[in-house]
Amino acid sequence: MKRFLTVIFTALLTVLAVNSLWATPPTTQARYLGFSNITSTGAKATWINGNGVGRVVVISTDNNFDTPVSTDNYSGTNGSLSNAVTITGGTDKVIGFTTGTTRTITLSGLSPNTTYYIRIYEYNGSHGSYQFSTATGVNNPRSFTTLAGLTAPTWPTTPVTVTANTNTAVIDWESVTGATGYKFSISTTNDGTFDVNRLAEYTDIDVGNLTSWEVYLPIAGTYYVGVKAYNASETSGYSSYQTITILSSMPPKFLDGDTPSLTEQTSPNYGNFDITINFDQPVYANNDGTGALTTSSFAAYAPSAGTDAHSKVVITAVSHTAGASTATITVRFNARVAAGDKFRI
């Protein structure tokens, strides 16, 4: 009899020791689950926490939730469906894992125009011994539907029309259902570096709800154009890229006209004036697209009459970087300039 009691006592101690390793489930479940920032591929979920040490976010497409398993490791989930963990023995996934006071998560990687059901499970314990509350909460679970998503614009039979003697190109694309506007960009590459190599002048040009636009490309070369559709909620990806081929460069044009202002230098350089000129395109000294402009790149034309007429103005320096569209020319007047005299650079 004594031995029998000892065995029972030992067994009870063993059961108590094992049970002490397991926490008790939370008694208050997360509640008032809501959604915001819903797009075609994601949403933000917000809720009020229960009384667990943390919680897992389960996502389903059929509203029949599989209960999380204590031995699964969900700590690496972060809201992205690509990182979600399938619950052992089920088909639903744990898409999020939060601890402490955190009560929001951003869901991503979802499919467009799809209804998702979300349920929050409070838990106590740690990996290997999670104790989940399987009760439902007020407005937990809940569902939301991702947006249908805007498709990228497509192209008509003739998407690009180039006028060679003006270096202009008209770009046409097809309208997209649900779009309220379009943006286009022009780049010098048509691969994964398209955005990196976009032209500063033609980056995310918003044309409203138009489906045709004219661009000016003064420099010869091969360019690529991509168009995105947008509305108040989202922006599509790029269309396929179309090629714009410009065969010859246009001569540079001065943006500030023929009479930019003169700025006199300070002592000891009185009598020297700086003229800053702006071109409509990157400028090089050589035809092969190299070299900075120098004094030999310019000529000064003074009045054709009067004492020392042609030597009244001399170009003494030019500040320019190859490929820049701005240059500063320094000129010196060697003789008195009469009122009304005009000079050309």
**Looking at domain 160-246, what is its CATH homologous superfamily?**
Immunoglobulins (2.60.40.10)
Residue 87 has pLDDT above 70, yes or no: yes
pTM for the model stands at 0.56
pLDDT in tens, 133-147: 999 999 999 999 998
pLDDT band at 301 (very low <50, low <70, confident <90, very high): confident
Query: What's the CA gap between 211 and 32, in Å, rounded?
Result: 44
Q: Is the pLDDT of residue 260 over 70?
A: yes
Summarised one tens digit per residue, pLDDT across range 195-210 is 999 999 999 999 999 9
Nearest to 42, CA basis, from 117, 106, 125: 106
How much of the chain exceeds pLDDT 90, in percent? 61
* Fold classified for 2-145: Immunoglobulin-like (2.60.40)
Given a contact cutoff of 8 angstroms between Cβ atoms, the answer to whether 242 and 225 are in contact is yes
Domain with CATH 2.60.40.10 in the chain: 2-145, 160-246
Residue 88 has pLDDT above 60, yes or no: yes
Q: What's the rounded Cα separation, in Å, for the pair 296 and 301? A: 14
Residues 293 and 318 sit within 8 Å (Cβ to Cβ): yes
pLDDT confidence band for 265 (50 / 70 / 90): confident
3-state helix, strand, coil in the chain (%, to 5): 10, 35, 55
Give the chain's mean pLDDT.
88
